[in-house]
Structure formats: C-alpha cells, structure tokens
Amino acid sequence: MAASATTVLSGSELNMVLDDLRRLNTDGLRGRDVELSEAVLEHINIVPKSSPGNAGMLKSFSRDWPEVLKASEFQGERERIEALLPKLAEQAKAGRVNAADLQNLIEVKEVMEARLAGQIQEAPAPKYIRAKRFLEDLQSSIRILRQPDVAKYFTPANSPTAKTVRELAQYMIEHDLRFAPAVTGDEVAYLKFYQALATYDVVANRAANGDDLAMKAN
C-alpha cells in the first residue's frame, strides 16, 4: 500500500523504512546509493529514540504562519513568539534555557490556543486543523526546552550531515536515532526525502538478496 502524506509527515512511514534498513544492516548497508541534498536534509527532524518532543521548530522556525493565525487578533501573540523562539533556541544550544523566557512562551501559546478554540465554529476545518497543528508543534518544542539535557538536540550527533541516503540511514541505525514529525515549512522536504529513502530501501533489499545490478555504482 502506498504511503500517505499524513504518515510521511508524521515520521511514522520514514521510521518504518528505517526499521527495514535496520533489519538488513547485518554487516553494513549495501546497494546503489541515492544522493541527498543539504536543502532537504536541513528540514528532516531527527531525535534520540526516547525523545519526548521535537526540536524542529527551534532549529528552523518558519514565519509562514497558518492562515487562521495570521489574523489581526493574533498579531500580539505572533510577535511575541517570533521574538521568543530564536532567543530560546540560542539558549537551548548553550544548554541554559531562561525559565522566565520559557514561561513567557508557554503563556503566549496558551493564549493563542484559547483564542483559536473560540473560532472552531467559524474557521473552515482544514484551516483550523493547520493552525492547531502549528500550536502542537510549538508544544513539542516546549517539551524539548524543558529537558535538562536540551543542548544535545543541537549537537552534530543529533543533527547529522550526510551526502547520501545510505550514509544517513547507517548513521541513524548506529546511533539509535529516529525521525520526528515535520513541522511547518518542512512538508515538501519530507515528501522528497521519503521518495529517496524508499528508493534506496528497494535497492538495499535487492542487494541483500544478491541482485548484482543493485550493487552497481555501490
């Protein structure tokens, strides 16, 4: 059955393919590799297996707000979030999150949630859902900011660089990492990456079964 955009963007489909590659990884992954662009990789959110949240919004905050949240009644909250998130991200990288700044972010998020809930009968369902998902992504970032080891989410170990799909998959398998959901602004990259990952998974399976053609350009 073909993957849906929903399962790809949630990260679940990516992790299913990664688990299949993990099964094949008895003596290293093999097979003709697939190139991976830096522009795509920078939008793929990778976390430790036991992660309580997703640092994606902290790493690449998009100011492309969902349409509902662009309304004038949300302007004050938007401006506060746009000021707080980059500041908190820098604090997180240094491993010292300011409690007052974090509390301010929590409070403004709660105000925005309450105001959005008041529009549930007025806003078209797809637009309301996109706005709600944005705030859920923000809450996921807040969970990361609350972690005593928050700095680890910004280290090279959890933000790997890779030139190819095989290189990335091998690294994630060896370091027990998982794909986290896409956040606002990541969607196109996730869909492109899934195609590359799935393509390599097919090749790796063929190589594991002795297909010489799949091994060419290895």
Per-residue pLDDT of 178-189, as tens digits, reads 999 999 889 999
What confidence tens digit (pLDDT) does each residue in 51-60 have?
999 998 998 7
pLDDT in tens, 68-78: 999 999 999 99
pLDDT digits (tens, 9 = 90+) for 81-107: 999 999 999 999 999 999 999 999 999
pLDDT for 121-162, tens place per residue? Answer: 999 999 999 999 999 999 999 999 999 999 999 888 888 889
Per-residue pLDDT, 1? 57
Question: For 152, which DSSP code?
Answer: G
The pLDDT, as a whole number, for residue 158 is 81
pTM of the complete model: 0.85
Asked whether the beta carbons of 43 and 189 are under 8 A apart, the reply is: yes
Q: CA 201 to CA 21: how far, in whole Å?
A: 7
* Beta-sheet strands, E only, within 103-179: 177-179
| Among 64, 192, 108, 91, CA closest to 146 | 91
- pLDDT score of 112 more than 70: yes
Residue ranges per structural domain of the chain:
1-52+156-218, 53-146
